[in-house]
Amino acid sequence: MFVDGEIRGPSRDLTQIHQQLQSKIQKVASGLQRLTSRKAIVSATGSNAITRQTSTISPQILNMWIRVHSSLIRELVRLQSTRYHQWHSHVQKWCLDEWHSVEQELTRERGLWGPDLGSSLDKWRLDTTETPSRIRRKLVPNQNFYALYPYRPYLDLPESKSMRAKVAISRDSRIFYEKMKERR
């Protein structure tokens, strides 16, 4: 009994699906037929008579309109998709930038999760908004210090002592250079 019900069950569902599809196709076809035909109101001798007038639109033109309409819809969906992806990437970039700045602020020297004392190799510079004539001066970390004043081992040689122009150097550049060399 159970096996018979299982065998008959899917076929009954298939016939119901087939009938539903047929009814939906019929609805679409009747809608297209109404679209292609026009109703004209004709007044004859004082009384209004409604007559049905068939359209002169050929099936080829109708198919062309359908293709054009579907291509326009496809293009609109593609445009909306690209806009969404651009917006999403912009929001993601903004969130990552915001997260990075919050992380930097929390882990900076004397920050909430940062060290109490900084390294002796940390270098500072005067903030660009501050000038020597201002009373309040603000120091900010100088990330480019060791790029501007690199360690130059050839300056330690005796023949380089008699150079005409002196090159700006830092005593900490050698220590920084050796620490970076150890990391590699």
> pLDDT at residue 6 above 60?
no
In a domain, 167, yes or no: yes
In a domain, 148, yes or no: yes
**What is the count of structural domains for the chain?**
1
Q: Domain of residue 134: give its range.
A: 124-183
pLDDT tens across 7-54, in order?
555 555 667 777 887 887 787 777 777 777 655 444 445 555 566 666
Measured CA to CA in angstroms, residue 99 lies from 74, 94, 104, 142, 143 at distances of 37, 9, 9, 22, 20
pLDDT tens across 84-138, in order?
999 999 999 999 999 999 999 899 887 888 888 888 888 888 877 766 676 677 7
One-letter amino acid identity for 40? Answer: A
pLDDT of residue 44: 46
167 close to 152: Cβ distance less than 8 angstroms: yes
In a domain, 134, yes or no: yes
Average pLDDT, the chain: 79
Specify the length of the chain in residues.
184
pTM of the model: 0.42
In a domain, 15, yes or no: no
